[in-house]
Structure formats: C-alpha cells, structure tokens
Structure 1
Amino acid sequence: MDRAFSSLPLSPAMLANLAQLGYAEMTDIQAKSLPEVLAGRDLIAQASTGSGKTAAFAIGALHALNTTFFAPQTLVLCPTRELADQVAHEFRRLAKFAGNIKVVVLCGGGVSVRRQADTLEHGSHVIVGTPGRIADHLERGTLSLSRIRTLVLDEADRMLDMGFKDIINAIARECPERRQTLLFSATYEDNIRQVSARLLRDPVEVRVAALHDASTIEQHVFEVAPDARTRTVDTLLRHFRPESTLAFCNTKAACDVLAQALQDQGHDALALHGDMEQRDRDVVLTEFANGSCTVLVATDVAARGLDIKQLGAVINVEVSRDPEVHIHRIGRTGRNGEQGLALTLCTPREMHYIERIETYQGQRAQWADASRLSPKGGALRARYVTVAIQGGRKDKLRPGDVLGALTGPGGLTGEHVGRIHVFEHVSYAAVERGQAAAAVARMEGGSIKGRSLRARVVG
C-alpha cells in the first residue's frame, strides 16, 4: 500500500501544504479511505479518535470544493461543540493551500443563532456543526444545504447514542440526493447499519483495527471487590502518579460519586458527563486541558472527541461491556511516541468482560495485585489553577491580550502562565497555583484594550 500523499490525485498546492504541515505519509485510515473518497464513492469507515480520520474526510472534501462559489458545499455533523471546533480547526489548517476557503462552525453553547446567521450571510464553503443547531438554522431559513456536495457524519455512533437519528435524517433530506456521504464511526453496530442503509449509496466499507502495540501502552488488570473501587483508584493514583488521568465509569452517577470521593481524598478531580450544561462542560474540559485538573472522571460518550495531546494514564474504573470501547479507551494514552499506562479494575462479576477483551486483543490480560502497591507521595495536585476573565471573542480578546495583561510590567512572568483559552464571552488562563491571587489582582486592577474586566479563580 502506497502511503505517500503524492500518490493521490491532489493539487500541487495541497500537497505542498500537507508537506509543510508535517504530513509525511498517510495513516491506515487515510490510506484505505482517501482513494475511495477522491473517487467520489460513499464511505463507511470504522476508526477511532487519533487515527487521522478528520484529515481523511477533510482532504477529500476540500479537493471537491469550488472555491469561487460561496455557498455551503461540505457539511460535517459532529456530536459535540468540542469535536466540531477540533474538526473546523483541522479544516482551516488543511485549507491554507487556498486562501479563500471559509469554514463556519454552527453549534450551541452560548453562541447566538442571530450572530451565526449574520456570519452565514457573508458566504461559506464548509459548515461544521452539531445536529441540533444545524436543524435550528434550517428551520429559521438562515441556512441552505441545496448545494452540498459532501455530507460527513463524524462519530456517527455517538450522535445516535445521543438521540440525533431523526434530526440527522431530516438534515440529510435537505441535501441534494446526488451527493457524497461519508460516515465515520468508532463502532459498527445495528443502528449504524440502519442509518447507512438510508443515507448512503453503495458505500465502500473501511475498517482500521484499533489494537495497540503492547510496547507503547503498559496494561494492568486488578481484581477488586465492588466496594473497593474508589479506594483502589486512590491507591493507583498515589503509586503511579500520572500527571493527567482519564478515569472511565459506565454511568453518570458513578462519575459524580467517584469525582467527589477523589476530591475528598485531596486529588484535583472533576466529573464530565452528558447531564452537564454546555458551559460547565467547557470549564471542566478547559481545566483538564490546561493542567488545572489531574483526574477527569468521565463516561465514554462524554469523553469522545477530547483533544488531549498527552495523557499520562487511563483507568477503567468499571470494565466496558464492549471490547472495542475498551480499546478506544486505552488508546487515549501512549500517543505521539509517549509511553502510556492503562489500568483496569475488575470485580468477580466482570471477569467475562475481561475474557472478551482478551479474545478481541488476541493476548492475555496482565493481572496485578493492588495490595502490593505503595503510595509514592500524597494526593495528586495540579500545578495550575484556572483564572476566569469576564471577556472573550465578542470583546475581540485574543490569548496574546490576556497573556500581556498578566505579564506586563510588574506582573507575572511567562513561566507562571500556562494555556489560555478564549471563548465567546469568557477567557480562561492557567496560572501556577501560588500565583493565582496575584493574577486575579492583576486583572482586577488593570485593563485589556481599555476595558476593565473582572476575574476570579475557578472553583
């Protein structure tokens, strides 16, 4: 299989941009799907987060664009705003070979429909959004999909889990019948088959195994009593001491209970699940991404699409009933050449799930004894805390503005400030724990672009 992008019928400008972005060769999913996508075929692709799937459909969609015609020609449906933002970011990077490609994100979570409608009036080529907000614009008449050439369903299984089946079908009916439809999913269950049969025409099916190299991810399974899960998670954290941990529970209630218990034990832990408001999700994800939270306790649905570059460990607090989901969980650690750590807790009643995972992986589980582990330090505290600043993109704030306000004359040094995230109405800055009070005082006593902005420490 030729993995060189130059083997594809792409323009010299796009190939040059791919080289500049560091795309040396195609990943498995790209090598298997891109030739079919570029040939105009409908596609069902099973691939996990981190496989390069976004570039696979983005390159194909950009190749098919008529950049001189300002109307939506590509529509990407995503389950969450977080994933939509990531997809849009990748489209914009890949679209740099042509300076006039406009990518618009249509999601809820604090962004007004009216403002998005104003943006759409100025034209667009690629629309990336969540099903609910796309349907809202269609109902209001502020969006037309009559010129769509490529419809992408990203993480289709998760959108179906969230109850978007009817909305997806309704959106698809607004697109031309003669279009290309690309469906990407981490799993391929009966609900995916039903949707694909309705929306796709003679699709090519591509599957990329989600198995992981045992040399890059250290895996251990610990047998525990049902009432010992929380105590064992605390032991694992104090023994292995990962800088960041994603802990999976199977239910929303279990996430809340474990996160609270870990907080009571001194860890900087937060919960993430589908019952949370979008604003609260944004804050939690920001704190985890910027190093203000050491342990994120999440359900599988909530954790899909997380853009965490380096994750120290994954803990399966409850064993997944689906071997593929287990593989997707542990695949979030050990990326980018880093050594990963995957720890699984298993009660006697969950043993048969481990047997399924062993069969799927083709290798025996590595069992370990948690009672032999000893703490190597105290609770895991984050290096940073997060400072919220009451101003965002609507105030024309940029990360550099926030950094400048914090580190100007007499302020903090650059080493004291971590990642800065700017949202529509609020900005978040990671500040070293000991500098939090000084950072708040600095913001309260100063101004950005002539405006005084209030600030507080999150949590």
Structure 2
Amino acid sequence: MNATPSNDKLAFAALPLSAAMLTNLEQLGYSQMTPIQAAALPLALEGHDLIAQAQTGSGKTAAFALSLLHRLDASRFDVQALVLCPTRELADQVTQELRRLARAADNIKILTLCGGTPMKPQMDSLGFGCHIAVGTPGRVMDHLERGSLNLKALNTLVLDEADRMLDMGFFDDIATVAKQAPKKRQTLLFSATYPEGIASLSAQFMREPKEVKLSASAATQAPAQIRQLAFEVREDQRLHAVSQLLAHFRPASTIAFCNTKQQCRDLVDVLQGQGLIAMALHGDLEQRDRDQVLIQFANRSCSVLVATDVAARGLDIAQLECVINVDMTPDMEVHVHRIGRTGRAGAEGLALSLASLDEMGRVGRIEQMLGREFKWQKLEDLTPAPGGLLLPPMDTLQILGGRKEKIRPGDILGALTGEAGFKSEQIGKINITEFHSYVAVARDIAREAVKRLSNGKLKGRKVKVRRMADLGELA
C-alpha cells in the first residue's frame, strides 16, 4: 500500500495505546505521527506481519517500538521482543529510543547484544532476565548457540535496516534466528530499499505480511527547511574547498560525506593540518575507535565528522547544522539520506555540495528526482567569517572505569560539580561504556578538569582521567 495519510489521522491518540503511553509521548515531544508511523502503526498494533520501506530519520524506530511495547507483559521476565540491527551504533540508538518510549511502563529491562564488547557481562544480564533484546545478528547468534539467549517467549521479531543487513552478508544468520523463534510471533521488517533478498527473507518466515511504502514524493523529498547550495570544483580543489566552506559558513557541527575511505583519510589530514578538530568514520576502523569517534562527535567535541555512506548508515546526530557532499554520490536516494541528516525536528539545516564537471550528470539526476534545481554559488565568492579558527565548544575526557565498576552519569556530574568545583553548565553529555566513561566539558576547562578529577575521587576511589584529544590518533 502507498501511504499518504491525512492530517486528521496523524494523532497518536487515534491509536489503541495506553493513557500512560500517550502521556509519555506528549512529554517526549511526539506531537503527531510521521507518514511511516501513520501507515505502519495501525497494522502493527493489529498484529500483522509488516514489510515497511522507510528511510533513516523517518521515525521508523517509534513505528516498531510502540507496537512491541504494546504487546509486552512487564510481569514476565523473558525476552518477548528481539530487534536485529546491522551495526552496533544503530543498535545503541534503538535501545536508547526504546528506553525513552518504555518510561510509561513499569520496570521494562532492555539489553543490547553486540560484538566489540565482552560476552560474559551480556550473559550475566540475560541470566537475570530481560524483556527486550536489541542486537547485531552475529552476537545474537553467539548467545543462541551458547544457550544464554532463549526465544521461547518471543512474540515480536524486528529486522531494522534489513537491506543493510543483507549487504553485510547476514541472510543466513537472520534466517537461523527466525527459525529459533516461535512460529506464531509477529515479524516487522523495515528497509530503506527493496532488494531481491527482502522477498526471499519474507517468503521464508513471514506470515502474509502487509506492505507499507511511502509515496515517492514523501520518500524522496528533502525537508523544506534544508538550504541547499552547490559549488563547482576542479578535482585538485575539492579537499581545500571543504575548508573554504567551513570558514565561510562556520557550522558548529558538520558531517562531510566522501565516496571512498581514502578520500576520508585525505580530507581529515587536510583539515587537521589546518588546526580543525576533524575525525574519520569508515569501515576500516576498529569498533572501539568507531565508538570513541561517535561519542566525541555527538557530544560536540569534534567539529567535522568525515564519513563514508556505509559507515554513517543509521546515525542520527542531534543538532547537526551542516552536511557537505565532498563527492557527489551516484545514488540519488543516498543523496536524500545524506542531506536529510540536517534540518531535523523543524530546525534549519544547511546542505553544501561540491561537484566537478564529470559529476554534472549525477547532479542533473538528483535535481530531476527532487523536482528542483540546485542553487549554485562560486567558491571565489566565499570569504572567511570573523571568529578565528573554528573549534568545537566541548572537549571529551575519558575516565578509566565504566558500567563494570557501576559508575553512573550522576557520579561523574557530582564529582565535577562537587569537589572539583565546576558549574553544571560547563558539563555536557556523559557516556558510560563497559570499561570507560566519557564526559564532555567546556573546552576552556578541559585540562583543569583532568587535573581536579585525577586529584580527587570518583565513587570513593582514585581514577585515571585523560583528554581524548591527547590520544593523538583521534584528535
């Protein structure tokens, strides 16, 4: 079915959700359903299997989260819902969103099961019982083989970004997981595109699935609040043109998309050589390094994230001011994915594209799909805006000790604003991982914060603290 719901059907109150859930949605700022939510949720809540074509940023997480939470029995500490994701980053984001939406219910336990972290803490947590598991296929398979994950009580299986999982070679793993789940479960499959493998998957283990696909105009239309500008470049100008764009527009937070890993590395070298805090995100990075890069970018300690499309798939960074297409993508839908990462939640966004003469064919196809032409400007007309070197407002400190030592965000905030004597407005986002904790602090207090935390105590003991920027390879 093609979905273009009318405005009177976009209210969450039209759905058979609990009063507590509706109140929580209102508190979270969910004013009305997005098109994919309005099309998918009524079918999912009725218990149908579902194949939904939905882009990143379309609100698809809430579309399946509200459905699986609706079916959950909080009094039963068995895994009743399993969400499979292609990457750890996406799994972490889905877990966070589920926890926010689950605040309306009592004591819902949600676990993330991904590679790159030790098995034993995950096995121990599963042993205590949980309601929802979110994970990558490989790690979920590991737990199934070891017997630490039991799917006998599963009533909802979600495949998020199924096309990406197929690209990564997870077809057999997904099929194996599905076969170990009860046959009468509900299966919800979300995919940005519809490759042949999706039909094969659905034929194997879905029961008369309903199909939901946004109308072409809804799926490919870039948000109106995104300002799009384009600049013609020669190949030898391209990397330095990024510096010109940053100096002129001075965005606080930018993702620069490159078509290749080597282009990512080259651009980071150029930007770092000019004193900018820029970091790369591509497939060759170790999981630990990917996590640390993303933490620093999300907490506004890095001005520019230089990424390939594959590495950035599923990222949802709040308050992203600017996207730069360093290379024009040959895939028109990928262009919409890229620029759609800015201008979220009604905020204004800026999308800047660099195109050589060889890429004008790609530009033309994108313009035709969007139904409007690019607005062109000349690089030579750009002038550096006042303000000096563009630096991020925050700096990230790494603390040796995390969930394993039962460190919580409140402990770190208390240490910084208590004995260390800093103001709460100087402290930013706090991330706790298994063995490390990360806290963003105002850039001008970072070195002093390291000194005071190192000389003080956290949860009654001394801890090792360092600036992430001092690690060299990530600065």
* TM score, norm. by length of structure 1: 0.95
- Distance verdict in 2 for CA 1:385–1:19, change over 3 Å: closer
Q: Distance in 1 between matches of 2:417 and 2:107?
A: 36
Q: In structure 1, list runs of 5 or more residues that go unmatched.
A: none
Structure 2 residue aligned with 1:383: 393
- Distance verdict in 2 for CA 1:321–1:197, change over 3 Å: farther
Q: Distance in 2 between matches of 1:18 and 1:400?
A: 25
Structure 2 residue aligned with 1:165: 171
Q: Distance in 1 between matches of 2:59 and 2:223?
A: 21
Does the alignment pair 1:269 with 2:275? Answer: no
Which of 105, 109, 134 does residue 112 from structure 2 map onto? 105
Which of 132, 137, 152 does residue 146 from structure 1 map onto? 152
**What secondary structure does 1:292 align onto?**
coil
User: Can you list the C-alpha shifts for 1:180-230, whole angstroms capped at 9, x where unaligned?
Assistant: 211112222334343333343332222233344664011012121122210
Does the alignment pair 1:297 with 2:306? Answer: yes
**What secondary structure does 1:108 align onto?**
coil
Q: Distance in 2 between matches of 1:188 and 1:346?
A: 29
Which of 6, 9, 12 does residue 5 from structure 1 map onto? 12
**What secondary structure does 2:329 align onto?**
coil
| Contact kept in structure 1, 2:74 and 2:106, CA below 8 Å | no
Q: Distance in 1 between matches of 2:109 and 2:420?
A: 41
| Contact kept in structure 2, 1:235 and 1:373, CA below 8 Å | yes
Structure 2 residue aligned with 1:366: 375
| Contact kept in structure 1, 2:222 and 2:336, CA below 8 Å | no
Q: Distance in 2 between matches of 1:292 and 1:88?
A: 23
What displacement does 1:446 show?
Answer: 0.8
- Distance verdict in 2 for CA 1:351–1:198, change over 3 Å: farther
Does the alignment pair 1:132 with 2:138? Answer: yes
Structure 1 residue aligned with 2:207: 201
Q: Distance in 2 between matches of 1:321 and 1:400?
A: 46
Structure 2 residue aligned with 1:344: 353
Structure 2 residue aligned with 1:188: 194
Q: Distance in 2 between matches of 1:417 and 1:5?
A: 35
| Contact kept in structure 1, 2:420 and 2:453, CA below 8 Å | no
Q: Distance in 2 between matches of 1:310 and 1:64?
A: 33
Q: Distance in 1 between matches of 2:258 and 2:104?
A: 43
Decide which moves more: 134-143 or 6-15: 6-15
Structure 1 residue aligned with 2:267: 258
**What secondary structure does 1:15 align onto?**
helix
| Contact kept in structure 2, 1:210 and 1:328, CA below 8 Å | no
Structure 2 residue aligned with 1:38: 45
User: Can you list the C-alpha shifts for 1:86-113, whole angstroms capped at 9, x where unaligned?
Assistant: 2122222222332043222211222x21
| Contact kept in structure 1, 2:404 and 2:435, CA below 8 Å | yes
Identity of aligned residues (%): 57
What displacement does 1:410 show?
Answer: 5.5
What displacement does 1:320 show?
Answer: 1.3
Q: Tell me the amino acid that sits aligned with residue 289 of structure 1.
A: A
Decide which moves more: 316-325 or 83-92: 83-92
Structure 2 residue aligned with 1:446: 456
- Distance verdict in 2 for CA 1:410–1:165, change over 3 Å: closer
| Contact kept in structure 1, 2:395 and 2:441, CA below 8 Å | yes
Does the alignment pair 1:323 with 2:332? Answer: yes
Q: Distance in 1 between matches of 2:384 and 2:31?
A: 43
Decide which moves more: 235-244 or 359-368: 359-368
Q: Distance in 1 between matches of 2:78 and 2:14?
A: 30
| Contact kept in structure 2, 1:212 and 1:331, CA below 8 Å | no
Q: Distance in 1 between matches of 2:450 and 2:86?
A: 35
Decide which moves more: 227-236 or 78-87: 78-87
What displacement does 1:55 show?
Answer: 0.9
Structure 2 residue aligned with 1:243: 252
| Contact kept in structure 1, 2:323 and 2:350, CA below 8 Å | yes
User: Can you list the C-alpha shifts for 1:367-422, whole angstroms capped at 9, x where unaligned?
Assistant: 22212212224442222221111111111111221122223245333333222212
Q: Distance in 2 between matches of 1:204 and 1:358?
A: 32
Which of 50, 53, 56 does residue 57 from structure 2 map onto? 50
Q: Distance in 2 between matches of 1:21 and 1:365?
A: 35
Decide which moves more: 315-324 or 154-163: 154-163
Q: Distance in 2 between matches of 1:291 and 1:381?
A: 10
- Distance verdict in 2 for CA 1:447–1:59, change over 3 Å: same
Does the alignment pair 1:64 with 2:74? Answer: no
- Distance verdict in 2 for CA 1:417–1:67, change over 3 Å: closer
- Distance verdict in 2 for CA 1:162–1:31, change over 3 Å: same
Decide which moves more: 144-153 or 446-455: 144-153
Decide which moves more: 190-199 or 179-188: 190-199
The number of residues matched between the two structures is 458
Structure 2 residue aligned with 1:356: 365
Q: Tell me the amino acid that sits aligned with residue 85 of structure 2.
A: C
Structure 1 residue aligned with 2:409: 399
Decide which moves more: 411-420 or 298-307: 411-420
- Distance verdict in 2 for CA 1:214–1:143, change over 3 Å: closer
Q: Tell me the amino acid that sits aligned with residue 368 of structure 1.
A: Q
* TM score, norm. by length of structure 2: 0.92
Q: Distance in 2 between matches of 1:397 and 1:167?
A: 34
| Contact kept in structure 2, 1:187 and 1:324, CA below 8 Å | no
- Distance verdict in 2 for CA 1:324–1:244, change over 3 Å: same
Q: Tell me the amino acid that sits aligned with residue 276 of structure 1.
A: L
Compute the RMSD of aligned alpha carbons: 1.8
**What secondary structure does 1:380 align onto?**
coil
**What secondary structure does 1:336 align onto?**
helix
Q: In structure 2, list runs of 5 or more residues that go unmatched.
A: 1-5, 470-475
